[in-house]
Amino acid sequence: MDVSTVAIAVFEGVEELDAIGPYETFSVAGDSGGDLNVSLRTLEPTDRVTCAHGLRIEPDGELSGGADLIVVPGGGWTSGEGGVRTVVENGRLPAALADWFEAGREDRMIASVCTGAMVLAEAGVLDCRPATTHASALSDLRETGAEVVDARVIDDGDLLTAGGVTAGIDLALHLVARICGDDVARATATTLEHDRPSDVYRS
């Protein structure tokens, strides 16, 4: 699958590292010879997003068309308010992701970090497929149509999920290896001073 554009979906209450960890990983991969362009995108136009711990970021634009891979971060699910909880309850982002993924199944990939898996579950993307999320939300994920697997990163072809927070960097490094090759992944991991993931479940 030819992937060159990566969109990371951000929203009010998104967990900072869930989004920024993969963003930096893909950016470094692009600087290390990989043909990757990564951006932060929102469902609807906005000048600023306030993250779970107060970091304010300026998104690059709207989440529409263009991307070969969309990464959905988590944040706020276990607190019971804001973040993913709000995203799931209002339903607009899950519906948009479902439409986007189904419209281009042959040449698109989708991934989640942490409780971003709950957004994909609401979208119906995880039905009968292996998935994981933050340890504190695994019981909730088991109540969806997903097949919960105990692994830090799960690669099911066009669908990938990762455990909590820092696992997003592992997910992104794994994807860099898939998309850009081992040399770029090795250079990226060296720059980040982060070990390449070993706990990857492949279906």
Confidence bin at 184 (pLDDT 50/70/90): very high
Confidence bin at 81 (pLDDT 50/70/90): confident
Confidence bin at 30 (pLDDT 50/70/90): very high
Percent of the chain whose predicted confidence (pLDDT) is above 70 = 100
CB 43 within 8 A of CB 12: no
**Residue 191 burial (CB < 10 Å; 0-12/13-18/19+)?**
middle
pLDDT given for residue 126 in this prediction: 98
Average pLDDT (45-59) is 97
Rounded distance between C-alpha atoms, residue 34 and residue 180, angstroms: 5
Q: What is the DSSP letter of 70?
A: E
CB 69 within 8 A of CB 108: yes
CB 109 within 8 A of CB 159: yes
pLDDT given for residue 66 in this prediction: 81
> Does residue 26 have a pLDDT over 80?
yes
Tokens of 83: 């973040």
Confidence bin at 2 (pLDDT 50/70/90): confident
Tokens of 85: 């909880």
**Least-confidence region, from 77-81, 82-86, 119-123, 136-140:** 77-81
**Residue 94 burial (CB < 10 Å; 0-12/13-18/19+)?**
buried
**DSSP of 127-163, one letter per residue?**
TTSEE---GGGHHHHHTTT-EE---SEEE-SSEEEE-
Confidence bin at 47 (pLDDT 50/70/90): very high
> Does residue 104 have a pLDDT over 90?
no
The model's pLDDT over 85-94, given as tens digits with 9 standing for 90+, comes to: 999 999 999 9
Tokens of 137: 């939300």
Tokens of 40: 């932060």
> Does residue 80 have a pLDDT over 80?
no
Tokens of 169: 């960097």
Percent of the chain whose predicted confidence (pLDDT) is above 90 = 92
Cα angle, residue 19 at apex, residues 49 and 99 outer, rounded to 5°: 85
pLDDT given for residue 29 in this prediction: 98
> Does residue 12 have a pLDDT over 90?
yes
